[in-house]
Structure 1
Amino acid sequence: MLTINVAVLLAFIVVIRLRRRTQSRSRLDEKFTVVIVLALGILIAPTELGQGILNVLTQLVQGVSNAG
């Protein structure tokens, strides 16, 4: 049986949608892309990859705030 990880499928859809030309997008199309990206973020967040990204971003923000 073939199983497809939903996060991988959404990531593929996001990449395909972002490769399109910006001028040809409608507002509804842009909103749909935002919803897909948010869903992808929710699916990735509890994983080890999501936690690693969160840690890197946290360190980056702390470094920038300490430098200022």
Structure 2
Amino acid sequence: MLTINVAVLLAVIVFFRLRRRTQARSRNEERTTAVIVLALGVLLAPTPVGRGILDVLGQLASGVTQASR
């Protein structure tokens, strides 16, 4: 039996949707992409990968804040 991780499937969909040129997208397509990315974020957030991404972004933000002082 083949199982598909929903987060991986959404990541693939986001990858292919973002490959298109910005000028070729309608507002409806942009909204759909935003909803898919939001759903992907909700699925990744409670996982170890999501926590790792949050830690890296937090360190990056603190580094930028300290560099601007």
TM-score, with normalisation over the residues of structure 2?
0.92
Question: Residue by residue, what CA displacement relative to the aligned partner does 1:2-40 show, whole Å, maximum 9, x if unpaired?
Answer: 110000000000011111122221100000000000000
Matched AA of 1:12: V
Q: Quick one: distance in 2 between partners of 1:14 and 1:67?
A: 33
Listed as ranges, the gaps of 5+ residues in structure 1 are: none
Query: Is 2:47 aligned against 1:47?
Result: yes
Aligned to 1:3: 3
Greater than 6 Å deviation, 4+ residue runs: none
- When the two chains are superposed, the root-mean-square deviation of aligned CA atoms in Å is 0.9
Listed as ranges, the gaps of 5+ residues in structure 2 are: none
The 5 Å alignment of 1:20-39 reads 20-39=20-39
Question: Residue by residue, what CA displacement relative to the aligned partner does 1:32-52 show, whole Å, maximum 9, x if unpaired?
Answer: 000000000110111111100
Q: Quick one: distance in 2 between partners of 1:21 and 1:61?
A: 29
Percent identical across equivalent pairs?
69
